[in-house]
């Protein structure tokens, strides 16, 4: 490709809407252009980089037995209704009606479609195991598209789906993906870690997320440097110190005016917040027990110790809620509780669901609300003074908490999710009739796993990781082109002749060269070379020819070397091969967590 013919243009100024370095560089280098919030066009350079990434993904998927297919972007609503997700997923699912007024969905993921294919194609255990994958457009109507390709509404995803006859087979395919994903990210020069994660709307028994550790990340991670424990804060557990045993003292009401917060209460009474109980109220959307397709709102009264914070994801999972919102003051008062001075003590529990953190039953003589403005109860004890429908770990992990595995100190980090893997089980195949005949002739549901990588987000994170003050620094395996050839042709026809010949010879030798043949100043060309960040820069001009050939400079290197013209093609081939071998050597075996 010649720069004079390249469709996209580089930008000198940083676009006002771009805050992250990767977003700025994607726009300035002409890799993408926005169409609407969270919706982008990939221009030629961006498309080539994306293709390189997707081909790496294809190689690793096929190495573990994957077969590539393509599934529709538009789905009939009935398959989503059969699995229940039509009713569970909120506004992020794009719903519409076709001309026959049938409900339709823009695919945000493809579990339902795969399960329907299983129903049509799988008959016997002899067809299992199987692994299908695709590179397909997805649409999720994100409320906060941000960061360029980091969080978008329309995106390309590699999603794969394992099909097995038994849980042992799922374990094998899950572990194969666990390593294959590390291979992909290592070959793309992106450092990642795998963390335990929430199964969310996907459902299932286990999930891991692959996180690029970066301050730009929206996910909060809890990491243990001592034993390697790693989890998304949404599901992270901690080792909770056992409270010192105390005899249960008689409960008494005390005046606590102006203490509607835990900190105010602890300050007034001169106690630690760990000696208090905190009430938190929600309205949860849960399944209606009388109608599987219907939902109802349930008042949730959660109690945690005053020195902890409630974790909404853990609460949602504990009570199997489809949605959760803070309760309004009138809803709190309707159950007899008083905001700022509430506890379950003395309240009728029938219209509400009371759930307490598992630290509450271990903590004696806590100070809790009296359900009277300006009053609390001293020496409250779970079991003696009130009961809950559920006791569950529902608190958030914090920096400095104890690791649940080894007890060492946990630290907090931020991360960008670049991939995820899920053990789905039989949720989708049971709902859609995806069964097989086992060896004994019994009908059983196929066991599924699903595994995703967003290729656009991966491209953005690669640029976030590999850039400097001048522009992108593409690793060789994912660079749109391997060599940027700068032809300094002003008043030098012999340079044009040599550059054109080398350009033809390079492509004939399998070298991907971008030739800057524009009528532009050397400064513009060299700046664009740094901005686009191709791994190798070849500069040909009167000065380099006088010095003996052309200047070869790897992106990011401080000095260039002169290569004789007749040795340029062989030198480029050797340098490209070296960089590709180094990239392949980055791949290493990552132990599966036990």
Q: Which helix (H) or strand (E) holds 21?
A: helix 21-28
Question: Coil, helix or strand for 80?
Answer: helix
Closest by CA position to 537, among listed 526, 521, 523: 526
Whether the per-residue pLDDT at 365 is higher than 70: the answer is yes
Ordered alpha helix ranges (H), 229-308: 262-269
What DSSP state is assigned to residue 535? Answer: S
Whether the per-residue pLDDT at 203 is higher than 70: the answer is no
Q: Which residues face 112 on adjacent strands?
A: none
Pull the structure tokens for residue 333.
């008062």
484 with 432, same domain?
no
457 with 514, same domain?
no
Residue 433 CB partners (closer than 8 Å, separation 6+): 119
Domain boundary among 392, 416, 438: 392
457 with 481, same domain?
no
* pTM confidence score: 0.90
What DSSP state is assigned to residue 518? Answer: -
The stretch 105-115 carries a mean pLDDT of 96
Cα–Cα distance for residue pair 361/493, rounded to 1 Å: 86
Please indicate, yes or no, if residue 12 is contained in any of the structural domains. no
Residue 41 CB partners (closer than 8 Å, separation 6+): 32, 33, 34, 35
478 with 458, same domain?
no
Q: Which residues face 513 on adjacent strands?
A: 483
Cα–Cα distance for residue pair 272/255, rounded to 1 Å: 18
Instruction: Give the confidence band of 312 by pLDDT, cuts at 50, 70, 90.
Output: very high
Please indicate, yes or no, if residue 11 is contained in any of the structural domains. no
- Structural domain that includes position 103: 33-195+426-464
The stretch 550-556 carries a mean pLDDT of 94
Which of 488 and 350 is assigned the larger pLDDT? Answer: 488
| Residue 391 near residue 301 (C-beta atoms within 8 A) | no
Count of domains for the chain: 3
Please indicate, yes or no, if residue 589 is contained in any of the structural domains. no
Cα–Cα distance for residue pair 484/530, rounded to 1 Å: 9
Whether the per-residue pLDDT at 546 is higher than 80: the answer is yes
51 with 99, same domain?
yes
67 with 179, same domain?
yes
Mean of the per-residue pLDDT values for the chain? Answer: 94
pLDDT of amino acid 42: 97
Q: Are strands 483-487 and 513-516 parallel, antiparallel or unpaired?
A: parallel
Whether the per-residue pLDDT at 491 is higher than 80: the answer is no
Please indicate, yes or no, if residue 297 is contained in any of the structural domains. yes
The stretch 101-109 carries a mean pLDDT of 96
Tell me the percentage of the chain whose pLDDT exceeds 90.
85
Each residue of 8-41: pLDDT tens digit? 999 988 888 888 999 999 999 999 999 999 999 9
Whether the per-residue pLDDT at 476 is higher than 90: the answer is yes
Each residue of 151-186: pLDDT tens digit? 999 999 999 999 999 999 999 999 999 999 999 999
Cα–Cα distance for residue pair 332/278, rounded to 1 Å: 14
Each residue of 204-263: pLDDT tens digit? 678 899 999 999 998 999 999 999 999 999 999 999 988 999 999 999 999 999 998 999
Please indicate, yes or no, if residue 407 is contained in any of the structural domains. no
448 with 495, same domain?
no
Instruction: Give the confidence band of 292 by pLDDT, cuts at 50, 70, 90.
Output: low
132 with 178, same domain?
yes
CATH classification at residue 370: 3.90.960.10
pLDDT of amino acid 200: 66
Ordered alpha helix ranges (H), 480-586: 493-508, 522-532, 542-547, 568-584
Instruction: Give the confidence band of 201 by pLDDT, cuts at 50, 70, 90.
Output: low
pLDDT of amino acid 287: 81
pLDDT of amino acid 162: 98
> What's the chain's Rg over C-alpha atoms?
30
pLDDT of amino acid 202: 54
Domain boundary among 368, 392, 416: 392
φ, ψ for residue 27 (rounded to 5)?
A: -75, -45
Cα–Cα distance for residue pair 572/484, rounded to 1 Å: 11
55 with 189, same domain?
yes
140 with 48, same domain?
yes
Please indicate, yes or no, if residue 212 is contained in any of the structural domains. no
CATH classification at residue 109: 3.30.930.10
Indicate the burial class of 123 (C-beta count within 10 angstroms; 0-12, 13-18, 19 or more).
exposed
Each residue of 345-363: pLDDT tens digit? 999 888 899 999 999 999 9
Whether the per-residue pLDDT at 443 is higher than 90: the answer is yes
Q: Which residue has the tokens 């400079």?
A: 553
The stretch 81-98 carries a mean pLDDT of 91
Whether the per-residue pLDDT at 417 is higher than 70: the answer is yes
pLDDT of amino acid 349: 80
| Residue 222 near residue 412 (C-beta atoms within 8 A) | yes
Task: Please state, as a whole number, how many other Cβ atoms lie within 10 Å of the Cβ of residue 311.
Answer: 21
CATH classification at residue 555: 3.40.50.800
Which of 364 and 494 is assigned the larger pLDDT? Answer: 364
Please indicate, yes or no, if residue 345 is contained in any of the structural domains. yes
524 with 551, same domain?
yes
pLDDT of amino acid 204: 61
164 with 259, same domain?
no
Instruction: Give the confidence band of 519 by pLDDT, cuts at 50, 70, 90.
Output: confident
pLDDT of amino acid 423: 94
Please indicate, yes or no, if residue 405 is contained in any of the structural domains. no
């Amino acid at each position: 490709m010649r720069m004079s013919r390249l469709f996209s243009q580089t930008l000198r100024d940083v676009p006002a809407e771009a805050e992250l370095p990767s977003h700025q560089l994607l726009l300035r280098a002409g890799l993408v252009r926005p169409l609407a919030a969270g919706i982008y066009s990939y221009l030629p350079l961006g498309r080539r980089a994306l293709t390189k990434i997707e081909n790496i993904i294809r190689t690793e998927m096929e190495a573990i037995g994957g077969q590539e297919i393509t599934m529709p972007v538009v789905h009939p609503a009935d398959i989503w209704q059969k699995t229940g997700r039509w009713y569970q997923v909120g506004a992020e699912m794009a719903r519409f009606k076709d001309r026959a007024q049938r409900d339709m969905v823009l695919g945000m993921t493809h579990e339902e479609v795969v399960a329907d294919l299983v129903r049509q194609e799988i008959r016997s255990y002899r067809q299992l195991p199987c692994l299908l994958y695709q590179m397909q457009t997805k649409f999720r109507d994100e409320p906060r598209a941000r960061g360029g390709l980091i969080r978008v509404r329309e995106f390309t995803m590699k999603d794969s789906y394992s099909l097995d006859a038994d849980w042992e087979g799922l374990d094998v395919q899950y572990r194969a993906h666990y390593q294959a994903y590390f291979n992909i990210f290592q070959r793309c020069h992106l450092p990642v870690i795998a963390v335990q994660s929430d199964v969310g709307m996907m459902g299932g028994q286990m999930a891991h997320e692959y996180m690029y550790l970066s301050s730009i990340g929206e996910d909060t991670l809890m990491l243990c440097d001592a034993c390697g424990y790693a989890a998304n804060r949404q599901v992270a557990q901690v080792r909770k110190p056992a409270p010192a045993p105390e005899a249960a003292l008689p409960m008494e009401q005390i005046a606590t005016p102006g203490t509607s917060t835990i900190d105010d209460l602890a300050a007034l009474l001169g106690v630690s917040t760990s000696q208090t109980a905190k009430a938190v109220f929600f309205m949860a959307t849960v399944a209606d027990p009388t109608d599987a397709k219907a939902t109802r709102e349930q008042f949730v009264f959660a109690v945690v110790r005053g020195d902890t914070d409630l974790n909404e994801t853990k609460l949602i999972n504990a009570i199997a809620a489809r949605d959760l919102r803070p309760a309004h003051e009138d809803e709190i008062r309707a159950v007899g509780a008083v905001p700022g001075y509430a506890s379950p003590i003395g309240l009728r529990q029938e219209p509400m669901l009371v759930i307490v953190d598992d630290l509450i039953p271990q903590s004696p003589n806590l100070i809790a609300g009296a359900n009277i403005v300006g009053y609390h109860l001293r020496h409250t004890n779970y079991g003696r003074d009130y009961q809950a429908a559920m006791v569950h770990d529902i608190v958030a992990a914090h920096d400095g908490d104890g690791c649940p595995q080894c007890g060492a100190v946990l630290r907090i980090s931020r991360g960008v999710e670049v991939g995820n893997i899920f053990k789905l089980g039989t949720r989708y195949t049971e709902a859609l009739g995806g069964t097989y005949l086992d060896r004994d002739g019994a009908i059983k549901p196929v066991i599924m796993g699903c595994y995703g990588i967003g290729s656009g987000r991966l491209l953005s994170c690669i640029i976030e990781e590999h850039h400097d003050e001048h522009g992108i620094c593409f690793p060789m395996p994912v660079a749109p082109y391997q060599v940027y050839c700068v032809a300094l042709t002003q008043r030098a026809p012999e340079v044009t002749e040599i550059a054109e010949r080398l350009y033809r010879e390079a492509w004939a030798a399998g070298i991907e060269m971008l030739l800057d043949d524009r009528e532009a100043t050397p400064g513009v060309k060299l700046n664009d070379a740094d901005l686009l960040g191709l791994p190798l820069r070849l500069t040909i001009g009167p000065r380099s020819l006088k010095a003996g050939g052309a200047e070869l400079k790897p992106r990011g290197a401080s000095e260039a070397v002169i290569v004789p013209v007749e040795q340029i093609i062989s030198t480029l081939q050797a340098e490209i091969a070296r960089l590709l071998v180094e990239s392949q050597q980055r791949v290493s075996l990552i132990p599966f967590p036990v």
